[in-house]
Amino acid sequence: MQTIQAQILATGDELTTGALVDSNSAYMAEQLEMMGVSVRRHVTVGDDMDDLVRALKEIGEQADVALVTGGLGPTMDDLSAAAAAKAAGVELELDEEALAWIETLFRSIGRNLGRNLGESNRKQAYFPQGSVRLDNPVGTAPGFSMIIGKCRFFFMPGVPREMKRMLADQVIPRIEEMLEDITVSGVRTICSYGMPEARVGELVADVADGEPGMKLGLRASFPVIQVKIYARAESKMGVERILDEGTDKILDRLKNNVFSVGGRNMEEVVGLMLKDEKATLAVAESCTGGQIAHWLTSVPGSSEYFVMSAVTYANTAKETMLNVSRKTLLKYGAVHEETAKAMAEGARQIAKTTYGISTSGVAGPAGGNEEKPVGTVCIALAAPDDTYVYRFHSPFGERDRNIKIFAMNALDVLRRHLQGLPPPSWAREYKP
pLDDT tens-digit series, residues 415-431: 999 999 999 887 888 88
- pLDDT score of 145: 98
Strand pairing category for 281-285 and 306-311: parallel
More confident call, 35 vs 50: 50
Asked if 240 and 181 count as a contact pair (C-beta separation under 8 A), the reply is: no
Q: Judge whether residue 232 has pLDDT over 90.
A: no
Strand pairing category for 132-134 and 428-429: unpaired
- Write down the H helix ranges in 63-218: 80-88, 96-108, 119-122, 160-166, 172-180, 197-204
- Across the range 387-409, mean pLDDT stands at 95
Q: Judge whether residue 116 has pLDDT over 70.
A: no
d(CA 283, CA 287): 12
pLDDT tens digits, 281-293: 999 999 999 999 9
Q: Is 207 exposed, middle or buried (0-12, 13-18, 19+ CB in 10 A)?
A: buried
- Domains of the chain by start residue, with CATH: 5-180 (3.40.980.10), 184-261 (3.30.70.2860), 266-429 (3.90.950.20)
Residues facing 226 on adjacent strands: 191, 219
- Across the range 267-278, mean pLDDT stands at 98
Residues 6+ apart with CB under 8 A from 134: 142, 143, 144, 145, 154, 155, 156, 166, 170, 171
More confident call, 121 vs 356: 356
- The number of helices, as runs of H, and strands, as runs of E, in the chain is 16, 18
Residue 431, φ and ψ in degrees, nearest 5: -125, 100
The CA radius of gyration of the chain, in Å to the nearest whole number, is 27
Q: Is 367 exposed, middle or buried (0-12, 13-18, 19+ CB in 10 A)?
A: middle
Share of residues in the chain with pLDDT > 90 (%): 80
Q: Judge whether residue 411 has pLDDT over 80.
A: yes
Reported as a pLDDT band with limits 50, 70 and 90, residue 3 is confident
Asked if 189 and 41 count as a contact pair (C-beta separation under 8 A), the reply is: no
Asked if 363 and 313 count as a contact pair (C-beta separation under 8 A), the reply is: no
- Across the range 242-257, mean pLDDT stands at 97
Which element (helix H / strand E) includes 282? strand 281-285
pLDDT tens digits, 18-49: 999 999 999 999 999 888 788 999 999 999 99
Strand pairing category for 151-156 and 65-69: parallel
pLDDT tens digits, 79-102: 999 999 999 999 999 999 998 888
Which element (helix H / strand E) includes 224? strand 224-233
Asked if 67 and 156 count as a contact pair (C-beta separation under 8 A), the reply is: yes
pTM over 0.75: yes
Residues facing 126 on adjacent strands: 94
Indicate the average pLDDT of the chain: 93
- pLDDT score of 113: 43
258-261 β-sheet, strand order = 214-221, 224-233, 184-192, 258-261
Reported as a pLDDT band with limits 50, 70 and 90, residue 104 is confident
Q: Judge whether residue 119 has pLDDT over 80.
A: no
Share of residues in the chain with pLDDT > 70 (%): 97
d(CA 262, CA 257): 15
Q: Judge whether residue 331 has pLDDT over 70.
A: yes
Q: Judge whether residue 141 has pLDDT over 80.
A: yes
Closest CA to 288 of 431, 409, 127, 136: 409
Which element (helix H / strand E) includes 66? strand 65-69
Residues facing 45 on adjacent strands: 11
